[in-house]
Amino acid sequence: MRHCDKEVKVTHHGKEHTTDKRDKHGDRHCSAKGKHRSKYIATLFVDPDDYQELLVDNGNGIAHGIPPVPMIKSSLSKVSSEAASKKPQFPSPIKMYALSSERPKNKPSKEHENFREIETITPLSKKFHLDVDERFGVLGEGDLASDFFETLSKSVTENINLMMGTSNSTDSPSGGGESEISQLCNNGMTVVSWKHSRIPILARALGCGKGEGCPKRYKGHDFDT
């Protein structure tokens, strides 16, 4: 997902204009609207048990290996369309990444920190008591992807070893095996909060290009894709 809203209106010499939300040190933060959006994002994720109940209530099932996304009534007080009157529900994440706040510049005097990507998922991390991995910065999309796939590989290996151990203790290894294997992919939600202009680069590093439905360009005003 992209970072939160950043623009605030200020008046300078009698004229109103928009600028980034900054503190007295020049560091960037979410605007009031952005903080509200961050809190709303946290409501889109629920505990695994609640997620499973929603699947049953909505009659959802896995299609083409893609986990279903149940919809519930939105908590927003004002909605502009029927589509906006509902919001998706995702299972709680097990891993969270956010772009590092460091923004190195050629001139030390222009260096600052940008906390927007971190602040965007802070309410979500607090909700599920998860740490946010902030090790990767701008131009670090490849390193993040490598870390993700390495972690995924270890998780898959551990689960397969566990399944094989369970299977070896029984006479019939076929009972429910396929279902258990599919759960390796369906139960692990990873959330990444990133700079919007570099999301297509990150998506490609993770194996998602235009052919897989990931946008080639992420527009600045787009907060929903």
What is the Cα–Cα distance from 49 to 57, expressed in whole angstroms? 12
Q: What is the pLDDT of residues 25-44, one digit of tens each?
A: 678 888 888 889 999 999 99
Q: Residue 152 has what pLDDT?
A: 83
Q: Residue 160 has what pLDDT?
A: 78
Query: Could you tell me what percent of the chain has a pLDDT over 70?
Result: 65
* Whether residue 156 has pLDDT greater than 80: no
pTM for the model: 0.75
* Whether residue 15 has pLDDT greater than 80: no
Q: Residue 22 has what pLDDT?
A: 64
pLDDT band for position 107 (cuts 50, 70, 90): low
Determine which of 19-23, 56-60, 124-128, 166-170 has the lowest per-residue pLDDT on average: 166-170
Which tops the pLDDT comparison, 76 or 199?
199
Q: Residue 133 has what pLDDT?
A: 96
Q: Residue 21 has what pLDDT?
A: 66
DSSP notation for 103-129: E--SSGGG-EEB-HHHHHHHHHHHHTT
Q: Are 170 and 185 in contact (CB under 8 A)?
A: no
Which tops the pLDDT comparison, 123 or 187?
123
pLDDT band for position 85 (cuts 50, 70, 90): confident
Mean pLDDT of all residues in 32-60: 87
* Whether residue 219 has pLDDT greater than 80: no
* Whether residue 123 has pLDDT greater than 90: yes
CA angle at residue 197 from 193 to 200, to 5 degrees?
A: 80
The residue length of the chain stands at 225
Q: Are 5 and 94 in contact (CB under 8 A)?
A: no
Which tops the pLDDT comparison, 165 or 196?
196
Determine which of 39-43, 58-62, 127-131 has the lowest per-residue pLDDT on average: 58-62
CA angle at residue 149 from 144 to 209, to 5 degrees?
A: 75
